[in-house]
Amino acid sequence: MSNNQIFLGEINPLLIPEIINCADVLVLTSHIEGSPNVVRESIACGVPVVTTDVGDVKTVITSEKLGLVVKPDLNEIANSIIFYLDAPSDFKNIIRNECMITANQWSKIENEYLKLCYQLYSQRKI
């Protein structure tokens, strides 16, 4: 292993946004996932994602401004990482803004869903 990796071990979950924001790109190379939270967490932090096609990532990553869904091929993964690392700064700003807009839309949907749940709960008959 080179000196470019840092293994943090167990960390406080409240530190996750701070840690993700240290990254230029998040890479998920899993073979099996359901709905990987780290993809949404990364986008919510404004960090694009390079991921293999697992779980529901294709429904989350809907444009190259949010990330790229790639085959589990080392060259394709490497080229996708390089795409974000070598991106001009103005495109990196566009990526960050698009990620933040998307995360805000998720928050609005989540709030509407919670309102509906509370409404249904208050109307229940026991």
Per-residue pLDDT of the chain (126 residues; tens, 9 = 90+): 466 777 888 989 889 889 998 889 999 999 999 889 899 999 988 899 999 999 999 999 999 989 999 999 999 999 999 999 999 888 888 888 888 888 888 777 777 777 888 888 788 776
Q: Which two tokens stand for residue 71?
A: 């085959």
Helices (H), 2-88: 16-20, 37-44, 57-60, 74-85
Q: What is this structure's pTM? A: 0.77
Scan for tokens 């091929």, then name that residue. 73
Q: Which two tokens stand for residue 37?
A: 């939270």
Domain 13-122 superfamily per CATH: Glycogen Phosphorylase B; (3.40.50.2000)
Q: How far apart are CA 107 and CA 18, in angstroms?
A: 19
